[in-house]
Amino acid sequence: MWQPSVVMYPLSVLLLLFPQAQFKTTHNPFIVSGNFEEDFEDYLTEFYGTGSTTEPTKEKFKRKMIIVPGRQIHISNEEYCSHAILFKNIHNKLRCVKEHYFLQEPYEEIRKICYNSFIKCKNGIRKCNRSKKMMEGLYCKLRRGTTSPDCEYESFYKRGLAIITCKWQNSIGELVPVSINDISMPY
């Protein structure tokens, strides 16, 4: 005679059969005014992301890489780089960056470098562009510290040919500078 068998499954396996619930946050724990909410969300995405997944923008380059053109750089002030890097919020997930360059040139002059021929970057990869004219800038080298805001930098004034990397920005349809690789003397 045939008898039906009953299979017993643990509750956790049975719960897998239910459709997944989709939760929606109704409360934002961060109090940010409406004007800055989108910028703040972009910042959090970039901060907690796995890498540079955000599209390069000229606004970001202007904010993080350019010192106001025509303004006097007071290199005698040893804390110039430390203050500039802290003020411009330059870090890698709150870790101090080992070095950083600032250029003291108008953005349009720097953008023209993107259309120059490729040269080797400091790391040996042939994806950098070099300026055709001398530019002024500032080199910041980490002196001590590991996490922001405890980073201390040495400041070095540099005048030479700027070596930068560029990427395509889809929203405006042009090459934009992304980072400054070096400011070197002409050969």
Q: List pLDDT tens digits, range 111-166.
A: 999 999 889 888 777 789 999 999 999 999 999 999 988 999 999 989 999 999 99
**Do the strands 135-144 and 152-169 form a parallel or antiparallel pair, or are they unpaired?**
antiparallel
- Mean pLDDT calculated for residue range 27-50: 67
Taking the CA atoms of 126, 163, 113 and 169 in sequence, report the sign of the dihedral they define: positive
**150 assigned to some structural domain:** yes
Structure tokens, 40: 């703040």
Q: What is the pLDDT of residue 116?
A: 92
In the chain, the amino acid numbered 42 is D
Q: What is the pLDDT of residue 28?
A: 58
Residue at 9 is within a domain: no
Query: Would you call 89 exposed, middle or buried from its count of C-beta atoms within 10 A (0-12, 13-18, 19+)?
Result: exposed
Taking a C-beta distance cutoff of 8 angstroms, is the pair 63, 78 a contact?
Answer: no
Q: Is 82 contained in some domain?
A: yes
* Residue 7 belongs to some domain of the structure: no
pLDDT of residue 40: 74
Q: Rg for the chain (alpha carbons), in Å?
A: 25
Residue 58's pLDDT is what? Answer: 82
What's residue 33's pLDDT?
67
The pLDDT confidence band at residue 23, using thresholds 50, 70 and 90, is: low
Q: Do the domain assignments include residue 4?
A: no
pLDDT of residue 150: 92
Residue 152: its pLDDT value, please?
94
- Number of folded domains that form the chain: 1
pLDDT at residue 185, as a whole number: 85
Classify residue 135: in a domain, yes or no. Answer: yes
Range of the domain at 179: 54-184
Output the pLDDT for position 27. Answer: 57
**How high is the pLDDT of residue 123?**
79
Is residue 133 a part of any domain in this protein?
yes
Quote the strand ranges of 14-115, DSSP E. 99-103
Partners of residue 130 on adjacent β-strands: 163
CATH of residue 156: 3.10.130.10
pLDDT of 107 > 90? The answer is yes
- Tens-place pLDDT, residues 48-93: 666 655 666 888 899 999 987 666 666 566 788 999 999 998 998 8
Question: How many Cα atoms are found within 13 Å in the side-chain-facing hemisphere of 142?
Answer: 17
Q: Does residue 119 lie in a domain region?
A: yes
